[in-house]
Structure 1
Amino acid sequence: MRELLEAVADGSLSPAEAEAELKGYVTGDAGRFDAARQQRRGIPEGIFAAGKSAEQVVALVETALETTGRALVTRVTDRQVAALESALDDSFPNATVDRRSSTVHVRTPAFEPPSLDATIGIATGGTVDGPVADEAELVCEDAGATVDRVDDVGVAALDRILDQLDRLRDADVLVVCAGREGALPTVVAGLVDTPVIGVPVSSGYGFGSDGEAALAGMLQSCTVLSVVNVDAGFVAGSQAVLIARAIDDARD
């Protein structure tokens, strides 16, 4: 305790960092940020931007950077990203902002990314599934896993998935995103001996176009796979990271 107080007094530790050390979380006007989740759960807290103002997103990202050195933000809008980049020019001018679709990964130069001796494969049925896969991919990259991305291999033409089979089989765990009837994860799971996490995507049209048909199809899979909620790329990526970390520990 005394060391923390002395560090705050001499300026080597910010009040937010001290609060994170003492409580595990930091409380601000935009809410509480769980700075200890990485140590407790093995996955950092993701900042869900939908429904938040640009100012709230900025505040939470700055708290994340101050206490953990990086921030993962999902479901961002162009306005939120513009406000974030403008604010970071002043508060963290050397921060790196990596945006893919509606997901943003921000890190400071001081952040030391981990390294996992594991490969996570990510596959999509079509281009429209890309944003959900992007969300999963950034989570996996943040954890230090090697990511092998295979896009546009939907079951409408099975040759597209069969000619990528060696890559899929080389992965330690697979995240497979698909809309419409959600058949791709079921097909992949029948061809590989690695864990498969199916992600139903709210793409397509007609009955079940909001992802319900894809979710139902994956839940009814004859082959063994795990299934997350509709469009839950962050959850799928996090689950893949936990599996990859266990594999990395076993290899060590």
Structure 2
Amino acid sequence: MRELLEAVADGSLSPAQAEAELRGYVVGEAGRFDAARDQRRGIPEAIFAEGKSAEQVAALAETALETTGRALLTRLSDSQYDALESHLDTAVPDATIDRWSGTVRVTAPDYEQPSLDATVGIATGGTVDGPVADEAAAVCLDAGATVDRVDDIGVAALSRTLDQLERLREADVLIVAAGREGALPTVVAGLVDTPVIGVPVSSGYGHASDGEAALDGMLQSCTVLSVVNIDAGFVAGSQATLIARAIAAARE
């Protein structure tokens, strides 16, 4: 405790950093940020931008950078991203911003990127499934895993899937995102010996076009796979990261 107080007094530790050390979270005008989640759970808190104002998103991102060295944000609109970029130009001018559709990762200049000796394969049924896969990929890349991404291999033309089979088999864990009837994860899971995480996507049209048909299909899979919620790319990426961490630890 005394060391923390002395560090705040001499300026080597900010009040937010000290609060994160003491409580595990930081309280700001935009809400509470769980700065200790990465150490406690192995997965950082992501800032879910949907439903938040641009100011709230920017404030939480700044808090995340100050306390953990990076910020992971999901479901950002273009206007939220523009506001975030403008805010960081002043607040953290040397920060690095990486963007994948609606997912953004920001790192402070002194942030040390971790590395995992594990590969996460990510496959999509079609291009429309890309933003959900982007969200999953961002989580895995943040953890330091190698990501091998292959898109548009849906079962409407099974040859597209089989053409990539050897590549899929090389991954330590697979995330497979698909809409419509959600058949791709079931097919892939029947052909590989690695864990498969299925992500139903709210793409397509017609009956249950909001992703429910894909979710039902994956839950009813006759091959063994795990299934996350509709469009839950972050959850899939988090699950894959935990598996990748275990594999990397075993290799060490």
With structure 2 as the length reference, what TM-score do the two structures score?
1.00
The whole-number CA distance in structure 1 between the counterparts of 2:139 and 2:179 is 21
The whole-number CA distance in structure 2 between the counterparts of 1:240 and 1:128 is 22
CA displacement at 1:99 relative to structure 2: 1.0
Sequence identity, in percent?
A: 81
1:94 aligns with 2:102: no
- 1:51 corresponds to: 51
- 1:34 corresponds to: 34
Q: How does 1:187-202 map to 2 (within 5 A)?
A: 187-202=187-202
1:109 aligns with 2:109: yes
Helix, strand or coil at the partner of 1:51? coil
Q: How does 1:59-74 map to 2 (within 5 A)?
A: 59-74=59-74
CA displacement at 1:205 relative to structure 2: 0.2
Amino acid at match of 1:218: M
CA displacement at 1:113 relative to structure 2: 1.1
CA displacement at 1:161 relative to structure 2: 0.8
CA displacement at 1:178 relative to structure 2: 0.1
Amino acid at match of 2:169: R
Q: Which runs of 5+ in 1 are unaligned?
A: none
Could you report, residue by residue, the CA deviation over 1:142-183 in whole angstroms, capped at 9, with x for unpaired residues? 000000000000000011010111110000000000000000
Could you report, residue by residue, the CA deviation over 1:89-115 in whole angstroms, capped at 9, with x for unpaired residues? 111001011111111111112111111
The whole-number CA distance in structure 1 between the counterparts of 2:129 and 2:118 is 24
**Which structure 1 residue ranges, 4+ long, deviate > 3 Å from structure 2?**
none
1:245 aligns with 2:245: yes
CA displacement at 1:45 relative to structure 2: 0.2
Amino acid at match of 2:162: L
The whole-number CA distance in structure 2 between the counterparts of 1:66 and 1:16 is 7
Query: How many residue pairs align between the two structures?
Result: 252
Q: How does 1:87-166 map to 2 (within 5 A)?
A: 87-166=87-166
Helix, strand or coil at the partner of 1:115? coil
The whole-number CA distance in structure 1 between the counterparts of 2:152 and 2:78 is 26
Q: Which runs of 5+ in 2 are unaligned?
A: none
The whole-number CA distance in structure 1 between the counterparts of 2:149 and 2:76 is 22
